[in-house]
Structure 1
């Protein structure tokens, strides 16, 4: 009888812990997916670059398999302003997240959440004179860091760009 009670308590305790982890994962997933939308849908697709100001830290790093390395927030925002978001462009690039591709891996230090890795696949399109054509498809890995209850996109890896 005593063993049965201990077993039930043990299972109940493990169940509570798994639910807490699942809730934490779901909350982080939801938050980072929303942040992904701010960065790509709002900043990249619609050139609302103000979203980058509060999501990217000064020591931001971006590694691209075709375009090289960007190693600061200011340089990245300037590249966006003068490149993709340049009002003189005749072609506009847009990005879509591939449905079902987003994955989140929590990072903890002694049980305390401090960050997350966000992996996924995205597809790019080029629109010229109203004609939208498929560009490349690529994989990405983002390192998000949690500081003072705020998520920052610290590192980006954009790789395996393939023309489809």
Structure 2
């Protein structure tokens, strides 16, 4: 048996082909969903509810239906929050002066990766970049940029935001 495997051990071409096959296999398994797919569009609309409606326009009542009861928010500057703390922070910090702070999704940064259990979708990872604007002298100015990763879970056929990672907050520079 040893003599049968000997040519494979010494062949660089076979090793390269094996490496490329494994790389392709990994790429196919971990590729994001198509931006035209129903899943991508659904989660992009949820992102809009989370930020455009609640964060930017203080329609905080839109949050509770899309956030899981056991929600956890991890922020690299402000620490950890549960669902109640997260919603209260938006009410207290953003909605006391509506329109003073906004968040914008960075164009073409949004990715969605489907999560399956034996071929059945149970969740998705959504990640991207966003910028933050602050009103200065009556004009919104982009002051920061950060990365985010959201874990969405299907609960009774309804998408719920379960975990949020908000990290790499940096001052914005063009």
| Fold agreement, TM-score > 0.5 | yes
- Match in the other structure for 2:96: 86
Note the alpha carbon deviations across 1:31-87, whole angstroms, 9 max, x for none.
Answer: 0000000110000000000110100112110001111111x2111111111111124
Aligned to 1:121, which of 123, 129, 136? Answer: 129
Note the alpha carbon deviations across 1:123-142, whole angstroms, 9 max, x for none.
Answer: 00001452211111000000
Q: Which runs of 5+ in 2 are unaligned?
A: 1-32
Larger radius of gyration: 2
Are 2:100 and 2:140, in contact at CA under 8 Å, matched by a contact in 1?
A: no
Note the alpha carbon deviations across 1:76-127, whole angstroms, 9 max, x for none.
Answer: 111111111124x7x8110000010000000000111000000100000001
- Match in the other structure for 1:19: none
C-alpha separation in 2, matches of 1:111 and 1:45: 37
C-alpha separation in 2, matches of 1:56 and 1:137: 23
Structure 1 runs (4+) deviating above 4 angstroms are: none
Q: Which runs of 5+ in 1 are unaligned?
A: 1-21
The question of 1:62 aligning with 2:73 is answered yes
- Considering only aligned residues, what root-mean-square deviation do their CA atoms show, in Å? 1.7
C-alpha separation in 1, matches of 2:87 and 2:131: 21
- Give matches, 1:108-147, under 5 Å: 108-147=116-155
- Match in the other structure for 1:160: 168
Give the length in aligned residue pairs: 139
C-alpha separation in 1, matches of 2:146 and 2:169: 4
C-alpha separation in 2, matches of 1:129 and 1:41: 22
The alignment partner of 2:128 has SS state of: strand
Are 2:151 and 2:162, in contact at CA under 8 Å, matched by a contact in 1?
A: yes
- Match in the other structure for 1:16: none
The alignment partner of 2:52 has SS state of: helix
- Give matches, 1:26-37, under 5 Å: 26-37=37-48
When normalised by structure 1's length, the TM-score is 0.80
The alignment partner of 1:86 has SS state of: coil
The question of 1:45 aligning with 2:53 is answered no
When normalised by structure 2's length, the TM-score is 0.76
The alignment partner of 1:79 has SS state of: helix
The question of 1:95 aligning with 2:95 is answered no
